[in-house]
Structure formats: C-alpha cells, structure tokens
Amino acid sequence: MTDLLEDIVEAVPVASNGHHKGFTLTCANCGEEFPSNRRQLPGKHAWCSKPNCRRAAGAARARNFRERRNNSI
C-alpha cells in the first residue's frame, strides 16, 4: 500500500513553491485535452485556444452575463 502511495506522490509534478503544476484540462467545446498551469475549478468550464473554441467561450460568457443581468431584477 505504501509503495502505491509513494508512486502517486512522485508522479504529481510540484513546483519549487509547493504548488502543483502541469494540469491537463478538457475543453468544454471540442472535448480535447490541453495542458494548463491551473487546475480546473468545480462547476467551471475550460476552453482550449482553438479559434472555434474561443468563439464558443465568448458566446457562453455573453449568455451567462445576459442570464445574470435578467435574473438580478
């Protein structure tokens, strides 16, 4: 059991300041994985840098803004 735990701890990349780095996120639009320095927050979407995915991210931001604006009144 401890050998497995040690393997897992060694496999996770850690920066010199103790923070983890090298996360792999999944794009909310195309579904492909891409590297990131930040972890994905629960309930939030991640978008890759492809032009089509960037447009989808902008549309989602606008849709969320309109929804928040209309529900606040």
pLDDT of residue 13: 59
Average pLDDT for runs of 10 along the chain of length 73 = 64 58 90 92 93 96 95 77
pLDDT of residue 26: 94
pTM for the full predicted model:
0.64
pLDDT of residue 72: 77
Query: Angle 53-70-46 (CA atoms, 0-180°, nearest 5)?
Result: 20
pLDDT of residue 25: 93
pLDDT of residue 8: 60
For the chain, how are helix, strand and coil distributed in percent, rounded to 5?
40, 15, 45
